[in-house]
A and B are shown apart, each in its own frame.
Chain A
Amino acid sequence: MSTQLTPEKTAELAKRATAVRKNILEMVTAAKSGHPGGSLSAADILVTLYFAVMRVDPHAPADPERDRFVLSKGHAAPVLYATLAERGFLPHSELTTLRQVDSRLQGHPDMKGVPGVDMSTGSLGQGLSAANGMALAGRVDGKDWRVYALLGDGELEEGQVWEAAMFAAHYKLDNLTAFVDYNGLQIDGPVSEVMSPLPIPEKWRAFGWHVLEIDGHDYNAIYGAIETAKTVKGKPTMIVATTVKGKGVCSMEGVADWHGKAPSTDECAKFLAELCG
């Protein structure tokens, strides 16, 4: 199994990620609220998962044999919806209904309404437990599908995360691969200042996980880590992905204020022009 992407695949992922970032900006702007910063930081991870890794079929979104993805940091719903649209689960035209009444695209993901959304999340700290349950179900049935979860770094302040961390290691859920989107910022400021969850890799190692540390914007690094995780036996894998909040939009990068604020129409036009690719 190669842990390297072809140059063509890497180029495709970059193109997809730019499209996803464009959609994130447009949908959050249209909604006049939402969480662009942490959506943009996770875009490369989601694009790699959905376009290079996960066994999913937009024509059979509930296929029992599919790989699952749990967006534990549910406020990054825009990146999930945009990625699902890019992958064919949703029409692109629906994206700008985000957060509006009667829309399927709730402010935080609702599994009941949206094809491709495997778990309802949003209240922080709960997603990894659900991913545990899915991985356990797959294990009990001897299935080969895998479970992926994405957590925020600020989210690691929730106690339930560590209950779930213990469980996954205790039951040796090696069909579970999780990511920390380590962008360093939460609403009230740097995670290290608000309530430090650092050092992150050491904590997961101490809880019995296989831990990989990567640049969360390097497609080959993301892909390689996921492929490595598939070969790890007897342990779940945590990929601590160092990222930049607001990644891809120069004016938003590294600014905590863009955690949960929508750009104005004018700002959006400016930000779209800043997107590379």
Chain B
Amino acid sequence: MGKATREAYGEALKELGGRYKDIIVLDADLSKSTKTNVFAKAYPDRFFNVGIAEQNLIGTAAGLAAAGKIPFVSTFAMFATGRAYEQVRNSVGYPHLNVKICATHAGLTVGEDGATHQAIEDIGLMRAIPGMTVIVPADATETHQAVAWAAEYKGPVYIRLGRMAVPDVFGESYAFAPGKAALLAEGADLTIIACGVMVAPARRAADELTQAGLTARVLNMPTIKPIDSAAIIKAARDTGAVVTCEEHTVIGGLGSAVAEVLVENVPVPMERVGILDTFGESGTPDALLAKYSLTVADIVRAAKRVVERKS
């Protein structure tokens, strides 16, 4: 097991703080959980806790960006994208300000805190804002690189991070490319497209499918917006079927983004593995992933279904 993407975020921020003197980090009383405390220890003069006040968190970041700073703001995904949605839209998105929203504890894998703290619609909310870049890293390496890219890029970025430790998917040679899918495995019968914590299970599902005589192309899709349309279209043409996997409601997230591309370009059979329009609940992350059909076995079943639909 590797580390949680939030851990990698904290480390990346600290490293970038040395390189970019204009980085300012804001948090809303969750710095120990979001790991911005790592930056705060290294650069106390450039870290500001706004308290439990997420609307002001986003608005203050907008003002910092308007004055030339590179603000990174963190809290749980629920509050960054839900509580402060309209601040993100109107104070950051509309003026296209250079604010980096790095939200942790996204998805069901928040675990025991339950439904009130499990953001399962944040990708959809952020994706709907014009000009917003949306990134869902799969592991520590990808997180580190995505955060570094965001520091360099001028414009609003949403990076979705998780609470629990996830397996390392990528080696040191991996190079995150914004807006590009990464090929993890080649196959001919279908393509599995995944993001975030679902990337590792997607790869294992592809391995299991070989026992059923099926080979799957596996694409990691870290950038949900702008989505890599070319990779999706090519996958559909080459393999004729697609399964998406995300720790997010099937409404508005990766599955929706992929479906939009497919329907308008290469309508092929597609299945979405995701949360089926319901709220989560308390439980361990693994118990929740099992209950809400986000396991390797669920991906395998979806793959078999979609291949059957090809003919």
B50 within 8 A of A: yes
Residue numbers in A under 8 Å from B58 (CB-CB): 129
Residue numbers in A under 8 Å from B62 (CB-CB): 119, 126, 129-130, 133
Q: Is the pair A140, B46 in contact by a Cβ cutoff of 8 Å?
A: yes
- The number of residues on chain B lying at the interface, defined by a beta carbon within 8 Å of a beta carbon of chain A, is 29
User: Could you give, for residues 166-183 of chain A, a 1 whenever the CB lies within 8 Å of some chain B CB and a 0 otherwise?
Assistant: 110011000000000000
CA distance in complex: A170, B48 (Å): 11
Residue numbers in A under 8 Å from B45 (CB-CB): 140
Q: Is the pair B87, A126 in contact by a Cβ cutoff of 8 Å?
A: yes
CB A70 to nearest CB in B, in angstroms, measures 8
Q: Contacts A120-B94, A140-B46 known; A132 to B63 CB distance under 8 Å?
A: yes
Which of A47-55, A156-164, A217-225, A267-275 faces chain B?
Answer: A156-164
CB A18 to nearest CB in B, in angstroms, measures 32
B55 within 8 A of A: yes
The listed residue (A70, A111, A112, A163) touching B55 by CB distance below 8 A is A163
The listed residue (A112, A122, A138, A167) touching B67 by CB distance below 8 A is A138
CA distance in complex: A171, B46 (Å): 13
B51 within 8 A of A: yes
Q: Is the pair A137, B48 in contact by a Cβ cutoff of 8 Å?
A: no
Q: Which partner residue on chain A sits nearest B71 by CB separation?
A: A133
CB contacts under 8 Å to A, within B37-53, are 45-46, 48, 50-51, 53
Q: Is the pair A134, B64 in contact by a Cβ cutoff of 8 Å?
A: yes
Residue numbers in A under 8 Å from B68 (CB-CB): 64, 137
CA distance in complex: A167, B54 (Å): 12
CB A24 to nearest CB in B, in angstroms, measures 24
User: Could you give, for residues 98-142 of chain A, a 1 whenever the CB lies within 8 Å of some chain B CB and a 0 otherwise?
Assistant: 000000000000111000001110110110111111111110100
Q: Contacts A132-B60, A160-B59, A164-B59 known; A119 to B66 CB distance under 8 Å?
A: yes
CA distance in complex: A64, B71 (Å): 17
CB B123 to nearest CB in A, in angstroms, measures 23
Q: Is the pair A129, B64 in contact by a Cβ cutoff of 8 Å?
A: no
Instruction: List 11 A–B pairs whose Cβ atoms lie within 8 Å, in order of A's numbering.
Output: A68-B67, A112-B95, A119-B62, A119-B66, A120-B90, A126-B91, A133-B59, A137-B68, A160-B59, A164-B60, A167-B60
CB A221 to nearest CB in B, in angstroms, measures 28
User: Could you give, for residues 194-238 of chain B, a 1 whenever the CB lies within 8 Å of some chain A CB and a 0 otherwise?
Assistant: 000000000000000000000000000000000000000000000
B304 within 8 A of A: no
B61, B62, B65, B87, most chain A CB atoms within 10 A: B62
CB A166 to nearest CB in B, in angstroms, measures 7
Q: Is the pair B67, A134 in contact by a Cβ cutoff of 8 Å?
A: yes
B286 within 8 A of A: no
Residue numbers in A under 8 Å from B96 (CB-CB): 112
Q: Is the pair A137, B87 in contact by a Cβ cutoff of 8 Å?
A: no
In addition to A126-B87, A130-B63, A133-B71, 16 A-B residue pairs with Cβ atoms within 8 Å of each other are A119-B62, A119-B63, A119-B95, A128-B59, A129-B58, A129-B60, A130-B66, A132-B56, A134-B64, A136-B60, A137-B64, A137-B67, A163-B51, A163-B56, A164-B56, A166-B56
Q: Which partner residue on chain B sits nearest A132 by CB separation?
A: B60
Residue numbers in A under 8 Å from B65 (CB-CB): 133
Q: Contacts A130-B66, A137-B24, A138-B67 known; A160 to B46 CB distance under 8 Å?
A: no
Q: Contacts A112-B96, A119-B62, A160-B55 known; A129 to B67 CB distance under 8 Å?
A: no
CB contacts under 8 Å to B, within A45-89, are 64, 68, 70
B53, B59, B66, B94, most chain A CB atoms within 10 A: B59
CA distance in complex: A138, B53 (Å): 22
CA distance in complex: A110, B112 (Å): 43
CA distance in complex: A164, B94 (Å): 20
CB B280 to nearest CB in A, in angstroms, measures 27
CB A143 to nearest CB in B, in angstroms, measures 9
B113 within 8 A of A: no
B86 within 8 A of A: yes
B305 within 8 A of A: no
Q: Is the pair B63, A160 in contact by a Cβ cutoff of 8 Å?
A: no
CB A80 to nearest CB in B, in angstroms, measures 15
